[in-house]
Structure 1
Amino acid sequence: MDIHEIDWSKMQWKQIRQGVEQKAFSGDGATVALHRLMPGHEPKPHSHPHEQIAYIMSGRLRFHIGDEVRDVGPGGLVLIPPNVMHWGEVLGDEPVLNLDVFTPKRPEYAA
């Protein structure tokens, strides 16, 4: 059995673009990514073939998912279906810390 383990507290944040940072961990079938989004970051509409579940740990994020909009705060979860255009924008002055789960895994995020 091959057990894959990391310590996120020792892992450096990877800057994805201005105002967006990430730490990621992948298994054989799923990827978990910790994202830190700063107020004023440039939202980037995108889609991907992965189902995504986003859990907001701190801050507030306005999700645009297809034609729908949802404001989500700490403790909130949102499901983003595969191949649906989506993006998020930080609400207020507090950075957002969110945990995303993707299935199938995202090899480009792999740690």
Structure 2
Amino acid sequence: MAEMPAASGLDLELRADLADAFGEKEPATPIPTSAPVARRKPIRQAAADIASSPVRTVAVACRQHTAVTLAVTARGLVRRRATGSQIIEETADWQFPDAVAPWVHVG
């Protein structure tokens, strides 16, 4: 099974995709960093005092992970794809061959 990429890897990919979409060479999105609580509190108080201008545009972007599973079952090969809350299942039923493959009798 393939490993899911780390969140930081997805963030970098998303930033690069946004930069491509808006024709920017370097993405202009902030990178969050953690700070101690003692440092965050005065910054939040100062930010609350600043008058903000009305929001003109809000962009929401996210990546949605898609999982694909392939299984050998009694009814045939089953491929199940999960995208968000949607699940799509496709089945290739077992069939009897018209002739036996030549390599079956070798060895």
Pairwise same-fold verdict (TM > 0.5): no
When Rg is computed on C-alpha atoms for both structures, the one with the higher figure is: 2
TM-score, normalising length: structure 1: 0.22
Instruction: Looking at secondary structure, tell me which structure has more helix per residue.
Output: 2
Greater relative contact order (CA < 8 Å, ≥ 6 in sequence): 1
TM-score, normalising length: structure 2: 0.23
